[in-house]
Amino acid sequence: MDRVPVPRDLKDFSRFFSDAGHRVYLVGGAVRDHFLGKRAGDWDVATDARPEQVMAIFPRVIPTGIEHGTVTIPFRGRAIECTTFRVESDYTDGRRPDSVRYEATIEEDLSRRDFTMNAIAVSLPDGAVIDPYGGRTDVKLRVIRAVGDPRTRFAEDGLRPLRAIRFSALPGFAIDTDTLSAIRPSLGVTERVAPERVREELVKLLSSPEPLTAFRYMEETGLMELILPELSACRGVEQKGRHRHDVLDHLLLTCSACPREVTELMLAGLLHDIGKPAVRATGDDGVITFHGHEIASAKIARSVMTRLKFPNRTIARVVHLVEQHMFHYESSWTDAAVRRFVVRVGVDEIEPLFALRAADSFAISGVRGEPHGIDELRRRISGILEARHAFSLGDLAVNGTDLAGIGITPGPTTGIVLRELLSAVLDDPELNDKDRLLDIALAFVRDRGLAN
Ligand code: ATP
Ligand code: MG
């Protein structure tokens, strides 16, 4: 029997199980990654010990998915996910198994896993490989193949088609023909999958090395139309001008040129022009325009991400980047214009916005590197930041209490006046002085007839 080397920590971990009379196996992505020659990410293990038995073995266990027999065990700085062998029966809704039966063998456990490359186990601590479905060969061939009949397996869980596509974003991987052709007939099942699960796979897809491959499969199988119809609507929307690609190809290329490690940027790349079909117009001169497309795109980005139950912070960040992506820097910008840009974009989002611009411009021109003018803008921004001028209401030399002192009643007027003062200070930083600001404030409320 083939054996693989087992890391020291895993051997020691497995001893806790054997001492209690149980078996434990390394399974899932870590085993697949080993045969891909990659360093494994997280460790997932499978055991015949039931969750309550695992909890008795280890002093501290987190019941992360106890209803599916999964607990997380903190061990030497890692979080090891531990699932009791199980066979799931009766998927009536294509979402989750109705019940989970615990079974005694690793082979049965492997039979419920999705793809052959994910259905290999390594026995601990000895390293013996259990590979009933030829997973190692498929890893070598870079083939994503369902365990058993793909139609049946996809009917059990509609997330699996998306998982197959997510794994195709690994370098060199392709989906086996039978498995691929089972995706379209299963879309009705996929439609009922919980949005959170779809989102999780989408995020993993975006952080994988070759998302473009996955997006091509998504379009070809109809999965894109199902989960991201707004994106499908960008197919065939021609742009002319500088653009060689239609809007969909432009979005996919921009996304795949963004830094993988920042999910929000990948999403902003994918969605930044998604409002273009809605605002496309042809002028009398025959020129195609997309006026206000960043606003339309931001709106659609928000609705797509809300539907997929992204966290609010992620949505806000992506929407902001989409909204701001249309800046046109020129050397003739005044310092006040640069300061306003900094305030509008926010100091922390300037570099991400530049990265989005670089990806956007690469998708148009095919030329890597930073577009013209960005570095000049960056240098001007850092000069301005070093000068430590006021960039937010909190940086002003006056506050609400000071305004109250000159008779401006605390309330909505206070905010209006402070924003006006910030605007003045952005134009001329020298004005950020208490006396001068109070003078401006008085003049402002008088001119506007605001309650004083
Ligand atoms: P990654 O390294 O990207 O996390 P992974 O293979 O570990 O990839 P997980 O989502 O963490 O993916 O799942 C762990 C394992 O659980 C998989 O390798 C697979 O064996 C099994 N699995 C996960 N989801 C399903 C599913 N929907 N149907 C069947 N088996 C699944
Ligand atoms: Mg995993």
**Domain 8-135 has what CATH class?**
alpha beta
Distance CA 234, CA 120 (A): 40
The angle that helices 211-221 and 247-257 make with each other, rounded to 10 degrees, is 150
Nearest-atom index, ligand 1, CA of 167: 3
Residue 378: which pLDDT band, with cuts at 50, 70 and 90? very high
Q: Which of 25, 43, 44, 145 to mutate to test the pocket of ligand 1 (most atoms within 8 A of CB)?
A: 44
Nearest-atom index, ligand 1, CA of 204: 3
Residue 286: which pLDDT band, with cuts at 50, 70 and 90? confident
The residue whose CA is least distant from atom 3 of ligand 1 is: 29
**Span from the CA of 307 to the centroid of ligand 2 (angstroms):** 25
Q: Which of 87, 114, 157, 189 to mutate to test the pocket of ligand 1 (most atoms within 8 A of CB)?
A: 114
130 close to 123: Cβ distance less than 8 angstroms: yes
Nearest-atom index, ligand 1, CA of 40: 2
Q: For 256-274, what is the mean pLDDT?
A: 96
Q: For 421-437, what is the mean pLDDT?
A: 93
Residue 231's contacts (CB-CB under 8 Å, 6 or more residues apart) are 224, 248, 251, 270, 271, 274
Query: Following DSSP, what letter does each residue of 272-318 receive, concatenated?
Result: TTTTHHHH-EE-TTS-EE-TTHHHHHHHHHHHHHHHTT--HHHHHHH
pLDDT at residue 415, rounded to an integer: 92
Closest-CA residue to 387 (of 346, 424, 329, 430): 430
29 lines ligand 1 (CB under 6 A): yes
CATH topology of domain 235-387: Hypothetical protein af1432 (1.10.3210)
* Residue 92 clears pLDDT 70, i.e. is over it: no
Q: For 248-269, what is the mean pLDDT?
A: 96
pLDDT in tens, 325-376: 999 999 999 999 999 999 999 999 999 999 999 999 999 998 888 999 999 9
pLDDT at residue 93, rounded to an integer: 59
Residue the block writes with tokens 């009791």: 84
Task: Say how many CA atoms lie within 13 Å of 143 toward its Cβ.
Answer: 17
* Residue 43 clears pLDDT 70, i.e. is over it: yes
Q: Which of 118, 197, 198 to mutate to test the pocket of ligand 1 (most atoms within 8 A of CB)?
A: 118
* Residue 89 clears pLDDT 80, i.e. is over it: no
Distances in Å between the Cα of 242 and the Cα atoms of 250, 254, 328 are 12, 15, 15
pLDDT in tens, 96-143: 555 565 657 999 999 999 999 999 999 999 999 999 999 999 999 999
41 lines ligand 1 (CB under 6 A): yes
252 lines ligand 1 (CB under 6 A): no
The residue whose CA is least distant from atom 26 of ligand 1 is: 114
pLDDT at residue 206, rounded to an integer: 97
CATH topology of domain 142-227: Hydrophobic Seed Protein (1.10.110)
With pLDDT > 70 as the criterion, what percentage of the chain qualifies? 95
User: Torsion angle of alpha carbons 107, 112, 117, 122, nearest 10°?
Assistant: -30
pLDDT at residue 306, rounded to an integer: 98
118 lines ligand 1 (CB under 6 A): yes
pLDDT at residue 94, rounded to an integer: 59
The residue whose CA is least distant from atom 17 of ligand 1 is: 28
**Span from the CA of 265 to the centroid of ligand 2 (angstroms):** 23
Q: Which of 45, 82, 113 to mutate to test the pocket of ligand 1 (most atoms within 8 A of CB)?
A: 113
More confident residue, 283 or 253: 253
**Span from the CA of 28 to the centroid of ligand 2 (angstroms):** 7
pLDDT at residue 68, rounded to an integer: 85
Distance CA 71, CA 67 (A): 9
78 close to 62: Cβ distance less than 8 angstroms: no
* Residue 392 clears pLDDT 90, i.e. is over it: no
pLDDT at residue 262, rounded to an integer: 94
204 lines ligand 1 (CB under 6 A): yes
Distance CA 238, CA 247 (A): 7
pLDDT in tens, 168-215: 999 999 999 999 999 999 999 999 999 999 999 999 999 999 999 999
